[in-house]
Amino acid sequence: MTAANQQTFSDETIRRFLLGGLTATEQSGFEHSLFIDEALEERVRLAELELSDDYTANRLSHAERNLFRQRFLLTMDRETKLHVSKALHDNFADRTSIARSGAWQNFTGLFDIRRHAWKYAFATLTFILLLLATALLVRKERSHLVDLPPRRVLPKPSASANPQRANHPPNNGAPTHNESSPTLPLHEGLTTSIVLDSATPLESAPTISTSGDMLTVQLVLDEPFAESYAVNVTTAAGESVFAADALTRSEERTLGFDVPTSSIKPGNFQIALIGVDGEVRRAAGTYYLRVR
């Protein structure tokens, strides 16, 4: 048999031959070639095995499966091939599926809470979270402590040995306070000192208690200053209780004088300050104080 006499058959034709699907003409030519063409013989042998494998692996159509059972599975040899195909499929496909399912089980098993590893992990994680929360809480509390302003203790008013200026400074441009000045504590001792400002109205005037013999008054002077000053202390009703002339500044801006406490009764008092420059006398300010 020469090569020229040999027909070439496709794999599809070979499969149709095995399934009994060739026409009479095709069948006759194929049978003749099968007897003289060794290459075709080998292809058909291999195609038998492949067809059996495909049947086992369910890779045939419904019609092909029927043909396989009716037209192919007619010999003992082919039945044996089918058994081997099943064995191969079971062996390797099962391994694949087992390996696949095993891999999946391993993957899902990693997240199985019942595993001891996960229990330990969760316990450790919980412990760490508790530690962190505690540390955070402590730190926050400390920061609050640091941020807290120191407790302020209101200074207890006390009489000082030196005269002090009360209320607002004389040169303020600030609005006048309408609130009443806190009640000053009683001054214990022989002398009571008070600093008065002409800008302080009667409502805000300091209240004093005359416990000593003399009341030392320091008046904050307003400019222009005079060569000397005269003061007249009167009650709210206008009754003069104390007067003094030719007073000079003891300091640069203040004028001091003493008033006998015997002449001062509880009530409101007004001090009229008069500046004297030679023969000229002028009002230099009015100061208020209250005595209880």
Partner 1 sequence: MSLPGIGLRFGQGQALPLQKGKMSAAKQLRDLEQSDFDRLLNWLDADRERAGLLYERIRWRLVTILASRGCTLADELADETIDRVARRVADIEQIYAGDKAIYFLGVMNNVHHEYLRRPVAPRLVDTSENVETREQIHGCLDNCLDRLAPYSRQLIERYYSADKKAKIDLRRVIARELGIKPATLRLRALRIREKLQTCIEKCMNASEARPLGRVN
Residues that bind partner 1 (CB under 8 A): 1, 17-18, 20, 22, 27, 31-32, 34-36, 41, 44-46, 48-50, 53, 57-59, 69-84, 86-93, 95-96
Q: How far is the CB of 111 from partner 1 (least distance, A)?
A: 26
Name the residue among 257, 256, 271, 254 with its Cα closest to residue 170: 254
Quick one: 69 or 140, whose CB is closer to partner 1? 69
In residues, how long is the chain? 292
Rounded to whole angstroms, the Cα distance separating 82 from 77 reads 9
Contact 195, 165 (CB under 8 A): yes
Which helix (H) or strand (E) is 17 found in, with range?
Answer: helix 11-18
Name the residue among 25, 21, 80, 32 with its Cα closest to residue 56: 80
Name the residue among 292, 277, 149, 278 with its Cα closest to residue 207: 292
Quick one: 73 or 202, whose CB is closer to partner 1? 73
DSSP type of residue 161: S
Hey, is 198 helix, strand or coil? coil
Q: How far is the CB of 6 from partner 1 (least distance, A)?
A: 13
Rounded to whole angstroms, the Cα distance separating 140 from 252 reads 55
Hey, is 280 helix, strand or coil? strand
Name the residue among 78, 5, 11 with its Cα closest to residue 37: 5
Write 149-152 long-range contacts (CB < 8 A, 24+): none
Quick one: 45 or 265, whose CB is closer to partner 1? 45
Quick one: 73 or 276, whose CB is closer to partner 1? 73
Quick one: 48 or 64, whose CB is closer to partner 1? 48
Q: How far is the CB of 76 from partner 1 (least distance, A)?
A: 5
Hey, is 243 helix, strand or coil? strand
Q: In what order do the strands lie in the sheet with 191-197?
A: 191-197, 214-220, 254-260
Quick one: 95 or 140, whose CB is closer to partner 1? 95
Quick one: 93 or 123, whose CB is closer to partner 1? 93
